[in-house]
Each structure stands twice: as structure tokens, then as C-alpha cells.
């Protein structure tokens, strides 16, 4: 995978993510904005500093900020929520886990492995990420580090937790495509 194909995959999932927001918020949602993901100096400060890439604006003027992750079908058997713990696991450079400023996280597995084939989510979770991370941060760093996985091809490591192990109080909404 390359950054370009990952970006294309994420962009192909956006119309389906928009459908989720419209389903959850129905007529109260006015606008959906996304911040630049380009790897450049123009990358939006909210994305660069706080890993926020989505803004939902409601008809009453209230805004909420979030993060989105659309994962390929081939990873769906993991059935886990993942968040970058260390950008560099060797130097302990802190990742998204430590400075995520989002209020929600739309996280899910798509039904395909290429952007052209995406038609729906297999699994999708709308997580109260701020509350969930605050709950996790009560644990010792050493305890959290034990639940990280290194990422192939990079120095990063990711904290993971099974969807079924996330307490319901941290889930706004969830969807699992029925299987036969």
C-alpha cells in the first residue's frame, strides 16, 4: 500500500461516511466539511496538531469535530478499533492517541479492498472518542503499551481493542452487515 492508494481508499469511503452522519443526525445536520490530508505545510492545523479531519455542522450552528478511518475488507477479521499510539515506537514519539482532539471517531471496515469496489460498510462504529480515550488514559502507559502492535513498513505502533470490548457507553451508533 502507498500513501496515494490509502488516500484514494479513504476518499472513496467518504460518501458512505456521509450517509452514516445523515442517518444518525437526520434533518438536523446542515453540512459536512473535511480538512486537507495533503502531506504539506498547507495541511490544516486541526488535522496536523489534533488529528481532526471532519467537521459536522448542525442547522442550529453547533459544530462537532471528528476523525474517520475506513479500513479494507481484508482486515475485517481483526474486528478491532485501532489508534496510533506511537508515531515512532523506538523513540516513544507520541501519536494520535495522546493528542487526538476529536469528539467522535467514525471507524469501520469497508466491503472491498480497492477504492473502485467500495459499496458499503461491513462494520461501522461511531465512537465517543474523547470519552473513550479519557477512560483509557486512566491506565498506566506500560499497561497500554502491552496492547500495541507495530506497523509493518513504519516505526509506528497502534493501540488496539476489540469492538466487542469497547463499553457501550462509548458507542454512539454501530452497524454490522448481516451475514448469511
d(CA 78, CA 97): 20
Element (H, E) at 14: helix 3-25
Distance of CA 41 to the CA centre of its chain: 23
- Burial category of 116 from C-beta neighbours within 10 Å (exposed 0-12, middle 13-18, buried 19 and up): exposed
Contact 25, 104 (CB under 8 A): no
- Segment 35-56, tens digit of pLDDT: 876 655 556 888 888 889 999 9
What range does the domain containing 27 cover? 3-176
- Segment 17-26, tens digit of pLDDT: 999 999 999 9
What's the total number of domains in the chain? Answer: 1
Work out the number of other CB atoms within 10 angstroms of the CB of residue 110. 26
d(CA 125, CA 98): 21
- Segment 136-166, tens digit of pLDDT: 989 999 999 999 999 888 999 999 999 999 9
Helices (H), 82-166: 96-99, 129-136, 141-145
User: Cell 463499553 identifies what position?
Assistant: 167
Entry pTM? 0.90
Amino acid at each position: 500500500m502507498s500513501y496515494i492508494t490509502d488516500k484514494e481508499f479513504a476518499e472513496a469511503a467518504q460518501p458512505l461516511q456521509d450517509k452514516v452522519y445523515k442517518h444518525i443526525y437526520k434533518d438536523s445536520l446542515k453540512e459536512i466539511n473535511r480538512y486537507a490530508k495533503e502531506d504539506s505545510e498547507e495541511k490544516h492545523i486541526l488535522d496536523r496538531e489534533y488529528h481532526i479531519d471532519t467537521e459536522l455542522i448542525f442547522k442550529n450552528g453547533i459544530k462537532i469535530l471528528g476523525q474517520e478511518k475506513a479500513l479494507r475488507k481484508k482486515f475485517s477479521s481483526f474486528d478491532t478499533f485501532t489508534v496510533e499510539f506511537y508515531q515512532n515506537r523506538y523513540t516513544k514519539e507520541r501519536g494520535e492517541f495522546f493528542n487526538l482532539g476529536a469528539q467522535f471517531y467514525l471507524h469501520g471496515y469497508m466491503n472491498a479492498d480497492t477504492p473502485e469496489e467500495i459499496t458499503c460498510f461491513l462494520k461501522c462504529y461511531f465512537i465517543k472518542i474523547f470519552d473513550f480515550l479519557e477512560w483509557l488514559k486512566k491506565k498506566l502507559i506500560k499497561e497500554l503499551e502491552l496492547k500495541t502492535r507495530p506497523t509493518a513498513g513504519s516505526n509506528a505502533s497502534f493501540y488496539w481493542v476489540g469492538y466487542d470490548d469497547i463499553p457501550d457507553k462509548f458507542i454512539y451508533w454501530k452497524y454490522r452487515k448481516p451475514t448469511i
